[in-house]
């Protein structure tokens, strides 16, 4: 029987034992009692905004990232936009509607109260970013422009061409730089957190590796915040940046932080299809393209076969022979259904043989209608950089005239296919964003908090910046309030020494395996297992096979890995090996969670649980909870703990995007 928790873990009183510490003069600087230090790990949108805000509020912030500059955090990749309930289009939007759409988009598996708070602060985020000078797109008259994203029937997405993440990150980075200049934030670039240090049940510091020198360093603080992104790269091929990893989150999990809803992995419908086995990265074509691009496959199987054989091209197929399957199946939302729905629909068509490309694993995203309606200049203004990116990778320009049939001009379409993109699961946090370890907080993509079983487009940036600018800076103070009289602990404590020793020993272990296989070759194999057995369509049997294969491959990793070089100085292969060790833990966790959840919801699709029309079939009676997992040691099944969901404002019902 699983344990049951609720979402409010009180910070609790200062433990008696701390008084002993004072007596033993184990505290760093007893005179400087009000100096409160916070470690923020990560400088993506969540981490940079949190570090800047905490610095501005007077805390001393230690901020670390693995890149050589905060500006290179993965957040920079975000293309399409960020949601807010401003209702600038006068189309009936409101805080409640954004709240409702997000809860519905998450297939009623999000914590309702968190989502309401997110919708409430969404407008402040836009104001904050405009004040920082973020160049959001504007209408001719000067108003901020909007476009639509999946799962919404209003236009509420603010954007800066196809570079929204980059511009938002530059805004956050400028605030962060102010605080660095003011001496409130100390920035450590090319530092990787390897472990969290727990003293008397509270997070009191971290062990980080200086990635340039290879040296381990100890950092202590009154609280630790991790903002280290998602675990999509467990699948090897994903739209995430190559450096994205889940090491910090997995270490926190190993130290006792619950990991929530790991099986909720988002597969994005519009990515450039895989084109060979030498590939290490997939490229996203922003969801914003679905505003004006129409998704289709041929109606006739012989056309699909000709396209796969290369004897026919998409632009040779006339309108009446095209199956705009999303518009056909979901007339109310059409091409703008949520990502999980669009991805499954693409898979269904490809599984039935209607896929295009030489692999049969792709569908068309076509701009012919919008270019004919709006003109190429307007379409380029909206999506120019995305068209160029597509051309650079595939050598096809989607705005190129290709054919005229019955007087209708056709342009070359894009080819797209679903790929792993975002992870809704993450470190469990309470309403204050505190994990199950007091003093340890998690924000941005690395927590599980707001998206339920599926994230709507343009809401990751909203959540990351809500957490960083508007939620954590306030909630963390409820914890820090009782810390004010207890200055940070010394890094000489045995807890730090022990954690450092373990990290060091792990590096020795990996270097000394001296086997024959590279990190990438094993990671790629793990990715295949994940995609095949823990991917878009899951079954109990497949998940069990996947887990078995993962165990076997992990043994191979432990006995036949080859990591060149030493731990001194820069050793990227060693860093990758550490990440892969943690992807194994993560992959198994995703599979355990998927196996335990005998229902389909959002990004978690169990083939045994679907309607006759192939839609996800939830089981609210038995699975209306957040599934939190507690680590039980390597090779052991983790323990499931349930946080029941409570909905007060929204009626839980079956998702409907058809009418």
Ligand X SMILES: Cc1cc2nc3c(=O)[nH]c(=O)nc-3n(C[C@H](O)[C@H](O)[C@H](O)COP(=O)(O)OP(=O)(O)OC[C@H]3O[C@@H](n4cnc5c(N)ncnc54)[C@H](O)[C@@H]3O)c2cc1C
Q: Which residues are catalytic?
A: 339
Query: 530: Cβ–Cβ under 8 A, 6 or more apart, which residues?
Result: 234, 235, 236, 546, 587, 590
Q: Is 74 in the site for ligand X (CB under 6 A)?
A: yes
Question: By CB under 6 A, which span of 40-48, 293-301, 306-314, 621-629 interacts with ligand X?
Answer: 40-48
Nearest CB to ligand X, comparing residues 82 and 645? 82
What are the structure tokens assigned to 304, written together? 């699909």
Out of 9, 77, 402, 513, name the contact with ligand X by CB under 6 A. Answer: 77
CB of 574 to ligand X, least distance (A): 14
Position 164 contacts ligand X (CB under 6 A): yes
| Cβ distance to ligand X smaller for residue 70 or 399 | 70
Q: How far is the CB of 82 from ligand X (least distance, A)?
A: 6
Q: Does 73 bind ligand X (CB under 6 A)?
A: yes
Helices (H), ranges, 352-448:
368-374, 376-394
> Which residues within the stretch 51-70 sit at the binding site for ligand X (CB under 6 A)?
64-67
Q: Is 343 in the site for ligand X (CB under 6 A)?
A: no
Could you tell me which stretch among 78-86, 96-104, 255-263, 328-336 binds ligand X (CB under 6 A)?
A: 78-86
Distance CA 606, CA 583 (A): 22
Name residues contacting ligand X, limited to 444-483 (CB under 6 A). Answer: 444-446, 458-461, 464
Cα of 558 vs its chain's centroid, Å: 28
What the block records as the tokens of 7 is 């979402």
Extended beta strands in 332-442, E state: 363-366, 401-405, 408-411, 414-423, 426-427, 440-442
Q: Rounded to whole angstroms, what are the CA distances from 275 to 218, 282, 406, 409, 478? A: 44, 9, 33, 29, 51
Asked if residues 104 and 655 have their Cβ atoms less than 8 Å apart, the reply is: yes
Q: Which of 106, 150, 165, 418 binds ligand X (CB under 6 A)?
A: 165
The count of C-alpha atoms lying within 13 angstroms of the C-alpha of 271, restricted to the half-sphere facing its C-beta, is 24
Minimum CB–partner distance for residue 555 and ligand X (Å): 25
Per CB under 6 A, the list member of 40, 41, 223, 371 interacting with ligand X is 41
The alpha carbon of residue 594 and the mean position of all alpha carbons in its chain are separated, in whole angstroms, by 18
Among 110, 223, 284, 356, binds ligand X (CB under 6 A): 284
Is 81 near ligand X (CB under 6 A)?
yes
Structure tokens of 393?
């990778």
Per CB under 6 A, does 101 bind ligand X? Answer: no
User: Using CB under 6 A as the criterion, what x/- string covers residues 209-228 for binding ligand X?
Assistant: ------------------xx
Comparing CB distances to ligand X, the nearer of 368 and 585 is: 585
| DSSP assignments along 20-41, one per residue | HHHHTT-BS-TT-TT--EEEEE
| Closer Cβ to ligand X, 233 or 263, answer by number | 233
Would you say 118 or 248 has its CB closer to ligand X?
248
Parallel, antiparallel or unpaired: strands 185-189 and 37-41: unpaired
| Least Cβ distance, residue 228 to ligand X (angstroms) | 4
d(CA 448, CA 255): 18
Name the minimum Å distance from CB 45 to ligand X.
4
CB-nearer residue toward ligand X: 167 or 228: 228
Which of 2-10, 71-79, 483-491, 635-643 is the region at the interface with ligand X (rule: CB under 6 A)? 71-79
Quote the least distance from Cβ 510 to ligand X, whole Å: 16
For CA atoms 348, 353, 357, 361, the dihedral sign is positive
Residue number, 364 or 422, with CB nearest to ligand X? 422
Site string for ligand X, 364-403 (x = CB under 6 A): ----------------------------------------
CB neighbours of 249 closer than 8 A, spacing ≥ 6?
Answer: 226, 228, 231, 259, 426, 427, 442, 446
User: Phi/psi of residue 192, each to 5°?
Assistant: -120, 125
Tokens in use for 297? 């496959």
Binding status of residue 43 toward ligand X by CB under 6 A = yes
Q: What are the C-alpha distances in Å from 79 to residues 9, 167, 283, 286?
A: 36, 10, 11, 6
587 makes contact with ligand X (CB under 6 A): no
In a 13 Å sphere around the CA of 115, the CA atoms on its Cβ side amount to 31
Contacts of 382 (CB under 8 A, 6+ apart): 147, 288, 291, 292
Taking CB under 6 A as the binding criterion, the range among 128-136, 243-251, 253-261, 396-404 that sits at the site for ligand X is 243-251
| Residue 234 near ligand X by CB under 6 A | no
* The only residue of 240, 483, 571, 588 in contact with ligand X, by rule CB under 6 A: 240
Helix (H, G, I), strand (E, B), or coil: what is residue 60? Answer: strand
> Of the two residues 44 and 473, which places its CB atom closer to ligand X in the complex?
44
For the bound state, the minimum distance from the C-beta of residue 553 to ligand X, rounded and expressed in Å, comes to 23
Residue 269 binds ligand X (CB under 6 A): no
Pairwise CA distance, residues 269 & 546, whole Å: 23
Residues contributing to the site for ligand X (CB under 6 A): 41-47, 64-67, 73-75, 77-82, 164-165, 191-193, 227-229, 239-240, 244-245, 247-248, 284, 421-422, 444-446, 458-461, 464
């Amino acid at each position: 029987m699983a344990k049951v928790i609720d979402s409010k873990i009180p910070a609790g009183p200062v433990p008696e034992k701390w008084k002993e510490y004072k007596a033993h003069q184990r505290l760093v600087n007893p005179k400087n009692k009000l100096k409160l230090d916070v470690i923020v790990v990560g400088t993506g949108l969540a981490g940079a905004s949190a570090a800047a805000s905490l610095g501005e509020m007077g805390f001393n912030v230690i901020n670390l990232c693995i890149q050589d500059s905060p500006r290179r955090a993965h957040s920079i990749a975000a293309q399409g936009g960020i949601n807010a309930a401003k209702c600038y289009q006068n189309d009936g939007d409101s805080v409640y509607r954004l709240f409702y759409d997000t809860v519905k988009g998450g297939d009623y598996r999000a914590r309702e109260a968190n989502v309401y708070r997110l919708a409430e602060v969404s407008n402040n985020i836009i104001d904050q970013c405009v004040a920082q000078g973020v160049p959001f797109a504007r209408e001719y008259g000067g108003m901020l422009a909007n476009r639509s994203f999946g799962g919404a029937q209003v236009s509420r997405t603010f954007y800066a061409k196809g570079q929204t993440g980059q511009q938002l990150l530059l805004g956050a980075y400028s605030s962060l730089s102010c605080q660095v200049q003011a001496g409130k934030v100390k920035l450590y670039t090319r530092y990787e957190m390897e472990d969290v240090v727990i003293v008397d049940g509270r997070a009191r510091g971290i062990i980080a590796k200086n990635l340039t020198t290879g040296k381990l360093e100890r950092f202590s603080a009154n609280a630790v915040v991790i903002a280290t992104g998602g675990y999509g790269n467990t699948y090897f091929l994903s739209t995430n940046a190559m450096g994205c990893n889940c090491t910090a989150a997995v270490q926190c999990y190993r130290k006792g932080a619950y990991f929530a809803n790991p099986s909720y992995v988002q597969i994005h419908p519009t990515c450039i299809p895989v084109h060979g086995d030498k590939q290490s990265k997939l490229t996203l074509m922003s969801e914003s393209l679905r505003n004006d691009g129409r998704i289709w496959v041929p109606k006739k199987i012989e056309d699909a076969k000709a396209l796969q054989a290369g004897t026919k091209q998409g632009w040779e197929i006339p309108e009446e022979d095209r199956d705009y399957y999303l518009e056909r199946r979901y007339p109310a939302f059409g091409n703008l259904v949520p990502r999980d729905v669009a991805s499954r629909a693409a898979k269904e068509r490809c599984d039935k043989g209607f896929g295009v490309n030489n692999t049969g694993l792709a569908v068309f995203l076509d701009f012919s209608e919008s270019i004919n309606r709006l003109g190429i200049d307007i379409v380029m203004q909206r999506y120019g950089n995305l068209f160029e990116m597509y051309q650079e990778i595939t050598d096809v320009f989607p705005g190129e005239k290709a054919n005229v049939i019955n007087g209708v001009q056709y342009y070359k379409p894009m080819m797209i296919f679903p790929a792993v993109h975002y992870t809704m699961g993450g470190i469990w946090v309470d309403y204050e964003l505190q994990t199950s370890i007091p003093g340890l907080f998690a924000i941005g993509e690395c927590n599980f908090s707001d998206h339920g079983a599926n994230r709507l487009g343009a809401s990751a940036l909203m959540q990351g910046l809500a957490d960083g600018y508007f939620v954590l800076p306030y909630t963390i103070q409820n914890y820090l309030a009782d810390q004010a009289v207890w200055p940070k602990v010394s890094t000489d404590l045995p807890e730090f020494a022990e954690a450092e020793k373990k990290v060091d020993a792990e590096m020795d272990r990996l270097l000394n395996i001296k086997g024959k296989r590279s990190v990438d070759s094993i990671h790629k194999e793990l990715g295949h297992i994940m995609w095949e057995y823990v991917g878009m369509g899951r079954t109990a049997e497949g998940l069990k096979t996947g887990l078995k294969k993962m165990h076997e491959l992990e043994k191979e990793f432990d006995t036949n890995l080859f990591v060149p070089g030493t731990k001194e100085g820069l050793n990227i292969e060693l860093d990758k090996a550490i990440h892969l060790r943690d992807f194994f833990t993560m992959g198994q966790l995703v599979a355990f969670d998927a196996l335990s959840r005998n229902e389909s919801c959002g990004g978690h699709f169990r083939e045994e649980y679907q309607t006759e029309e192939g839609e996800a079939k939830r089981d609210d009676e038995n699975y209306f909870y957040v599934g939190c997992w507690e680590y039980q040691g390597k090779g052991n099944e983790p323990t499931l703990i349930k946080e029941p969901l409570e909905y007060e404002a929204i009626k839980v019902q079956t998702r409907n995007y058809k009418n």
